[in-house]
Every structure is written in C-alpha cells, then in structure tokens.
Structure 1
C-alpha cells in the first residue's frame, strides 16, 4: 500500500468563503483501501476541506486529484459521479421520501463494481432501515437518519466514502453501531475519509490521521504514532 498511487490527493489548496479565507495550503492523501481520519478542533477547516474536495466550495488554488483525474474545477455532480459518496454533516437525507425511496434514489453502479451495494445489503448492515422502510425520512431519529445517510452514500457504490462528523450527537448505542459499520467497511476494502472527535475509535480502526489547525495540516501519521503522542492530542485536539 505504501507505494500505491493515491486514490485522492489534495495539495496546497486554498479555499475562501467570500473574502474570508479558511484553508491555507491544506494537503492530504488517501490510498485505495485506506481509512484516513481528519481531526481538529471546531472551526479549523475540516468541513471546508470536504466541501473543497466535493466542489461544493471550490478551492481557488492548489490541486485536487481523484482516481488520477484533476477535479478541482469540476462541478459537484461530476465529482460525485467519478466515485465519491458523501455523508454530510447534518445528514441531509430527503425528508419527504421514504427510507426505501432515499436508498433507491441514490442507487447506481456507474463504475461497474462486481459486488455492488443493494438495498438488501444495506438492510443487513443496518436492520433498522429495513424496519423503517416505509417511514418518511423526516420522521426518523437522528441515529436512524445517519444510518440512512450512510446507506444512501453506499448505494452509489463509491470508490471513496467520506463521512463528515460520523457520530456527532448520536446516542452511545447508535455510535457503537456506526463504528461497527466502519470497521466492516474497512474489512471490505472500502476507502474512507472520516471526520469525528472520538480519538479512541479512530485510532482503533483508521490507518492514518491528519490533524488540521487553522486551515492546514500540521501533523500526519499512523494510529500508533498518534497514540504515542498525548501532548500532540492535547495541543491540537483538546484531549
């Protein structure tokens, strides 16, 4: 894996909201089959990094390459079609569609996966979605909506799955279910970029980590290296 060409590579990107610059040369990379965590305090640029990757808030400078293609100037829908599935902060499921309709609306296998995700596989991953199949998305609990958001993203059969605040605001039992899901996806070989504040679970399942501070990556390394540096966690993560 060490010598593999990155599936996703961003280099020195700069992103602004109007006149307010948020990213100042942010860089990271993800290889195929890796689970990478992006960590940092609130307001340091994690979500903006995700929005830049997806073209939702386009970077004004730098390079974003996905699956060997420069995507920085592409519209969001084209970036998604290349094989990135996003579980956004706030979930953003379709409230006026049923659970099943949410999943069907996103289904596709544009990249020709030989083992594509189906509704049945999503139900096996999250049995609660099978139970709630006829319920409107807006009637689900926060945890159920997060399961649905993950299922919806997987139904696109992405090369890369991105989760922004994977377990924020969820009950402990639901958080455990999400972490178990991520462990299963890693075992399946799914490439994942995840944002979350739970360092214990992230170091348990992620291969590598980046810490972002004021719009740039200030540290990168393996789980073992992060665990070995408690001062680093205290300085940048408030732990």
Structure 2
C-alpha cells in the first residue's frame, strides 16, 4: 500500500529448527504510533529482529518505504531509515555519552527539523550533564535515554523501541512516555513494544496483539480499552 510506511505480511521466522513466527502481519502508516503487545515469549522481539534483518524471516514479505527488505542485511535496512532502541539498550560501554550519540549520526533524508546533539540534550538534559561520562557509568534510565537519543540521531523514518520502559523507575518511565508523546507530535512514525497498556492506549493510534507467533487482534485504542476480556486473554491483565 502506497500510504503504508511498514508492511509486514505473513512472515515466518525460525531459530534453527524452532519456528517462532507463523504468518505474522502488521502495518504502520507514516506519522503513526503503533504498539506490538503480547505475553513474554510470544514473538515480539523476534518480530522486531525480523524487521531489522537481524533474524531474517524465511517466508512472507516485509516492505519498508516501498522496498522489499525481508532478505536485506540489517545495515541496509538501517540506512533506509529504521532506528532501533533494542531490548537491553546495548549502548557502547566504553564510549562517552557524546560519542555514543554521534557514532551513528546521519541525516540521509534531508529532514526539515533534524535531530542534532543539541536537540537531544534539550529533550534529555541529563545526557547533557553526563556528556563526558562513559556508557557503563550511567543508570539504567540514563542508558535508555541514551539508546533513544542514539537512534534519533540517525533521523529515522521509523523508530522501533523494544521494551521501552522495562525495568525503569516510575519517574524515568514517565519521562520516556513524555518523550514518545513529543516524538509523535513531531510526526515521528513509531513501533513500540511495552507492557503498560494504559500508556500505550493513551498515545498509540493502533495496536497489534500477538500470541504464539501470530497476529490475533488489531485495532484502535478505543477498541482495545473497550475489550477488557481481550486484555485478560492475551496480555494477562
């Protein structure tokens, strides 16, 4: 579809002989914020790894910005404009905060309001304060801010966050949600994995729920909140 930024259609992904995704589908339109939800072990991270080319899908289609990317290496997918905030953050421990941010900085698409070091520091003042600290000297919350800032410094068309607020203190979680709201207001396309249904319903446009590697439900925030039985069945809430 021409108006779709990311179109994942019927992908199947395996780790060796163990199949994890069984015909999973989802889509994201430009400027849309979409959540991917499901219990632990249902295939959320594998879906993201397939989109990024880290664990390539063996069947199905993954189209991004009009190009088929299912068989493309991860670095090419990143260059097409996909920025990833991975589970576990995976920042560079032996680089400073500033070095982490500028390491992959790029503006390949001529953004009208590009993310720069100064802009990241405005959004996350704590990173400005810790600019000369090494990555392994940061708290978990600071590392998550840094991981988000690093992804934004690539000025991506699509930002993907895997477990956006997992393991973070409540105040830091609120800061991350405020950041995502700001990004959405700027028109940033976002795919987010998280367990906080209330926050996701508040700021996301649409949601996809997966169970055992398949998409079992999709709909708007209003539709999601209107079906508490659905949340209990698939999310354990």
TM-score tier, shorter chain, comes to over 0.9
Runs (5+) with no aligned partner, structure 2: none
Query: Which residue of 30, 33, 38 corresponds with 1:32?
Result: 30
On the 8 A contact 2:2/2:66 being kept in 1, the answer is no
Quick check: 2:20–2:43 contact (8 Å CA) kept in 1?
A: yes
Query: 1:155, 1:35 → 2: CA distance?
Result: 19
Residue of structure 1 equivalent to 2:43: 45
Mapped to 2, the partners of 1:106 and 1:138 lie a distance apart of 19
Structure 1: which 5+ runs fail to align? none
| Counterpart-to-counterpart distance in 2, 1:74 and 1:58 | 8
2:127 equivalent to 1:129: yes
Q: Which position in structure 2 is the counterpart of 1:235?
A: 233
What is the aligned residue count? 237
| 1:130 match: secondary structure | helix
Hey, what's the Cα distance between the residues in 2 that align with 1:104 and 1:75? Answer: 23
Q: 1:4 offset after TM fit, Å?
A: 6.0
Corresponding position: 1:172 with 2:180: no
Are the aligned partners of 1:4 and 1:31 in contact in 2 as well (CA < 8 Å)?
no
| Contact persistence 2:53–2:71 (CA under 8 A) | yes
- Which residue number corresponds to residue 162 of structure 1? 160
Q: Specify the alignment match of 1:142 in structure 2.
A: 140
Whether the 8 Å CA contact 1:5–1:31 is kept in 2: the answer is yes
- Residues 69-96 of structure 1 show CA distances to partners (whole Å, capped at 9, x for unaligned) of 0000110000000000000000000000
SS in 2 for 1:106: coil
TM score, norm. by length of structure 1: 0.98
- The runs of 4+ residues in structure 1 deviating greater than 6 Å are none
TM-score, normalization by structure 2: 0.99
Instruction: Quote how far apart the aligned CAs of 1:113 are.
Output: 1.0
1:112: how far off?
A: 1.4
